[in-house]
Amino acid sequence: MVDNEDWTDKELEEMRSRNIDFSDIPELTPQFLQTLKRVVPREHYKVVPVKKAISIKLDADVLEYYKSKGKGYQTRINRILRAEMLKETAPVYGGEQEEENEHDS
């Protein structure tokens, strides 16, 4: 691949002014975008996650909601918790840290 630092201003301007045919690219509709899943490949983890059995208290309605989605509810809950963790710990994921006002009892 050519490093763009080697390109002249004239070459860059010519590239910007080219007519690019996007007709063969499907439109990214809101409906299509809703079908996409965000995936973080394992090689992006600093450590490989290891599952650990714990006991955790969840609101009954929260637990029933995830159980009602079928098999894999624990995995779904874990993914949601991981996504929240990454929002707080990795600004690249678009999250900002928020102060906790509630304390677990």
- pLDDT band with cut points at 50, 70 and 90 for residue 96: very low
% of the chain exceeding 70 in pLDDT: 71
- Kindly state whether residue 88 falls inside one of the protein's structural domains: yes
Please tell me the pTM assigned to this model: 0.44
- Kindly state whether residue 86 falls inside one of the protein's structural domains: yes
pLDDT tens by residue, 49-75: 789 999 999 999 999 999 999 999 999
Domains: count for the chain: 1
- Kindly state whether residue 81 falls inside one of the protein's structural domains: yes
- Kindly state whether residue 72 falls inside one of the protein's structural domains: yes
- Kindly state whether residue 60 falls inside one of the protein's structural domains: yes
Domain that holds residue 68: 47-98
pLDDT of residue 4: 58
pLDDT tens by residue, 22-37: 888 888 899 988 888 7
Question: Sign of the CA dihedral 6, 12, 18, 21?
Answer: positive
- Kindly state whether residue 76 falls inside one of the protein's structural domains: yes
Q: Which of 90, 102, 9, 88 is nearest to 44 (CA)?
A: 90
Written as one string, the DSSP assignment of 8-20 is -HHHHHHHHHSPP
pLDDT of residue 2: 53
pLDDT of residue 65: 97
- Kindly state whether residue 53 falls inside one of the protein's structural domains: yes
- Kindly state whether residue 12 falls inside one of the protein's structural domains: no
